[in-house]
Structure 1
Amino acid sequence: MKLWGIDLGGTKIECAVLDSDKELEVIARKRLPTESANGYEHILSQIKKLIDLVAEEVGERPSKLGFATPGVLEPDTQLMKNSNTTCLNGKAMGKDLEALLGIPCQLANDANCFALAEALMGAGKEYPNAEVVFGVIMGTGVGGGLVVNSKIIGGHHGIGGEWGHNILEENGDDCYCGKKGCVEQVIAGPALERHYERISGEKKSMKTILEEYQSGNNDHANATIERLLEYYGRAISTLVNVLDPGLIVIGGGVGNIDMLYSEGYERIKKYIFNKGVITTPILKPRLGDSAGVFGAALL
């Protein structure tokens, strides 16, 4: 049986087809630009165009489709919300896709798809007894996805796993969600770059800040990375205290910083409700940027 998935990103749309009879072997992968500036209807047309191209390549059409989406469908209204591709918000995207394609479509937030793929195909294969897997995204934004017993937990409001919009720094920077000091406004890449500029008066990339921290010659870089490590430890501790997952997987560009898995791991001990003892495996993803589209196919 072939499993079809679409990862709908802000700049690209990717389709992947997996063969469930051959240990989820990848049969086909193809991308098209999203061109979201052209609006909602154009995005739908790009999705259909991509599916047509892949169907021609594999010699058959899908009977159903999974979609990893920015934002999520509101369970009650079935309208999209919380999407940074703003033209999707307020749209009945699931219903519209089914009408356009003529097949059942299952939609889930891209962070949840990331968590599902890593749980079933990626890092989770190293920890098969992990009933609860949490997938963290730390990049230009901060998000999360929750998988329990191989199933996404979307939650009553469809916001299960939305770790990035809990308040981490009281009276911190404004967040687009309406609060101040959300996790995303403290330890996402742009937030850390903004902090560096605020204390140094210079604008530098996260990559440069990290390099200068490692050189040991930049006090402002030291302060910025110290801020990351301390707040990371505090933020991850809340996940452990509430969910106590058997595995946490950290995706996104900031998640590539090796210190998060050593010094950052030590910082969690200061805040965990377990007398400073933590044994939770916290890993980098094993699927790279494929996790979203693979998770969509697994829906």
Structure 2
Amino acid sequence: MLIGIDWGGTKIEGVAMEPDGRELLRLRQDTPRHDYDGCIRMIGEMIGALEEKTGKTGSVGIGIPGSLEPKSRLGKGASSTWLLGRPVEHDLHAALKRPLRVENDADCFAASEAVDGAGVGHNVVFAVILGSGAGAGIAVGGRAHHGPNNSGGEWGHNPLPFPDVTEVPRPCYCGRHGCMETWVSGRAFEAEYSRHTNEELKARAIIEKMRAGDRLCGLLWDRYVDRVARGLATVVNTLDPDILVMGGGMSNVEELYRDLPPALAKRTFSTVFHTPIKPAVHGDSSGVRGAAWLWRD
């Protein structure tokens, strides 16, 4: 069987799958935040539980919230900052004592949706994550694309294009200012509401107020969609992917699929915009399935 582990910033999830993609068992636990050794220990225990409960052994693929520097294989670009500079792959090998494959979680998400999700039948899939952070993965021919720097799809750490005078660059955890993540993540959407009201609400509650006719929430949503469109317009202008697949908590807002296509059409260089924009078929489970698919060959 195929075992996939999604090592996320808030949860660690594991899945045991048949080679045809049928799921046998899924497990999930809260991530021991800022506890690097604790995370590795939990992953080992989860793999053991998946094999014990299914009575089978499996190959292991692991998606991490960052990527590995191609030569040193040290963690880089991780929103879970306790992975930065750590020999993640080496330490996982030492703890698990078995062959494994480690890739960026957004790349796993892209590969999952390309293999048996919203991207089926499309050669170039750009899979966007609008969650607590913002990122993306690229899949070509059903496989994640990395590049020589292992940085393919790092969309969330490009600057917001065409900012107006009110969009002063904000600090990002990565050390830069003005990254897309600081404008289009779920946390950024919530922070925008808080700046205008001095109240804190979760994104879901803000959306419900918008649907109920709240004028401010409607304006904040329109601004949010425009920022997503500006960021993705650079992707369309540069890569022109066959499909945009949306994941993360903000991808569950139904209005995104009504409002984003015309907003994107206004921002792209081309006079036409025919690219389909679809929600991930496997939702929050796509990353862990993509990790399992790392052994599809």
TM-score (norm 2): 0.91
- Whether 1:134 aligns to 2:150 is no
Indicate which of 162, 182, 187 corresponds to 1:190: 187
- Whether 1:152 aligns to 2:151 is no
Alignment correspondent of 2:255: 259
- Whether 1:69 aligns to 2:64 is yes
2:138 is aligned with what amino acid?
L
- Deviation, structure 1 residue 208: 2.6
Unaligned stretches of 5+ residues in structure 1: none
- Deviation, structure 1 residue 249: 0.6
1:162-241 counterparts in 2 under 5 A? 162-168=154-160, 169=163, 171-218=168-215, 220-241=216-237
Residue aligned with 1:269, SS: helix
Alignment correspondent of 2:109: 114
TM-score (norm 1): 0.91
Q: Return the alpha-carbon distance in structure 2 between the equivalents of residues 11 and 221 of structure 1.
A: 27
Q: Return the alpha-carbon distance in structure 1 between the equivalents of residues 103 and 139 of structure 2.
A: 12
> Given that residues 142 and 164 in structure 1 are in contact (C-alpha distance below 8 angstroms), is that contact kept between their aligned partners in structure 2?
yes
Alignment correspondent of 2:25: 28
Call closer, same or farther: CA 1:58–1:75 in 2, change over 3 Å.
same
> Given that residues 79 and 173 in structure 2 are in contact (C-alpha distance below 8 angstroms), is that contact kept between their aligned partners in structure 1?
no
1:143 is aligned with what amino acid?
G
Q: Return the alpha-carbon distance in structure 1 between the equivalents of residues 200 and 25 of structure 2.
A: 41
2:85 is aligned with what amino acid?
G
Superposed CA offset, 1:158-193 (max 9, x none)? 111011111104632221222222111112122122
Runs of 4+ in 1 over 6 A off after TM superposition: none
- Whether 1:290 aligns to 2:289 is no
Identity of aligned residues (%): 38
- Deviation, structure 1 residue 59: 2.0
Superposed CA offset, 1:222-272 (max 9, x none)? 321121121122112111111111111111111122222122210111111
> Given that residues 7 and 14 in structure 1 are in contact (C-alpha distance below 8 angstroms), is that contact kept between their aligned partners in structure 2?
yes
Alignment correspondent of 1:12: 11
Residue aligned with 2:255, SS: helix
- Whether 1:80 aligns to 2:72 is no
Alignment correspondent of 1:104: 99
Call closer, same or farther: CA 1:258–1:67 in 2, change over 3 Å.
same
- Whether 1:43 aligns to 2:42 is no
Q: Return the alpha-carbon distance in structure 2 between the equivalents of residues 182 and 11 of structure 1.
A: 21
Alignment correspondent of 2:2: 3
